[in-house]
């Protein structure tokens, strides 16, 4: 499956199961649920198609935010967890916070046109993780 059809399945199941069945607590028959799911697939697919064909820059912008946010927030935390024994719990939290905040600030500033946020915010989050792990080591590892 491609990313597009996977996302359509996620949207459909989120709306039909999470919102309609659990949140709104509507009791739909299987036939009604299938009809709702099909309608959601068609509406979401058409919305995605219109968005993709009319606004290439908006799609690029959204994807950039998503990948920069995910990559620059979680990648340093995962890498430090695997490869550095002194990485602390405070370091993990600060890596995620620094990655997220620096991504939002960097992408929103004119600096994004000069240097991609994917490089700089990764380095900022990595440095924050190392710094805060050194400043606040886990107690069990220091004894």
SS3 124: helix
77 in the same domain as 36:
no
115 in the same domain as 47:
no
33 burial level (CB within 10 Å; 0-12, 13-18, 19+): middle
Which of 26-35, 43-52, 128-137 shows the highest mean pLDDT? 128-137
46 in the same domain as 69:
no
67 in the same domain as 43:
no
91 in the same domain as 36:
no
Phi and psi dihedrals of 138, rounded to 5? -65, 140
74 in the same domain as 41:
no
pTM of the predicted protein model: 0.61
pLDDT in tens, 13-30: 999 888 888 888 888 899
49 in the same domain as 103:
no
80 in the same domain as 31:
no
For 63, the domain range is 57-142
Give the number of domains in the chain: 2
- Contact (Cβ atoms closer than 8 angstroms) between residue 13 and residue 41: no
pLDDT in tens, 108-119: 899 888 988 888
41 in the same domain as 67:
no
68 in the same domain as 40:
no
Calpha distance 22→16 (Å, rounded):
9
Where is pLDDT greater, at 134 or 17?
Answer: 134
The DSSP element (H or E) to which 111 belongs, if any, is none
135 in the same domain as 84:
yes
The dihedral region occupied by 102, where left means phi > 0, alpha psi between -120 and 50, and beta the remainder, is alpha
Q: Using the 3D structure, point to which of 54, 69, 93 is the last residue of a domain.
A: 54
């Amino acid at each position: 499956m491609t990313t597009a059809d996977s996302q359509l399945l996620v949207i459909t199941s989120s709306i039909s199961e999470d919102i309609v069945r659990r949140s709104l607590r509507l009791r739909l028959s299987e036939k009604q649920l299938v009809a709702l799911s099909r309608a959601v697939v068609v509406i979401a697919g058409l919305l995605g198609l219109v968005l993709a064909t009319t606004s290439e820059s908006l799609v690029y912008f959204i994807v950039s935010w998503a990948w920069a946010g995910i990559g620059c927030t979680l990648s340093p935390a995962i890498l430090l967890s695997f490869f550095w024994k002194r990485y602390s719990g405070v370091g993990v939290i600060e890596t995620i916070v620094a990655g997220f905040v620096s991504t939002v600030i960097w992408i929103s500033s004119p600096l994004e046109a000069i240097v991609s946020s994917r490089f700089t915010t990764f380095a900022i989050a990595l440095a924050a993780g190392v710094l805060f792990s050194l400043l606040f080591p886990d107690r069990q590892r220091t004894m």
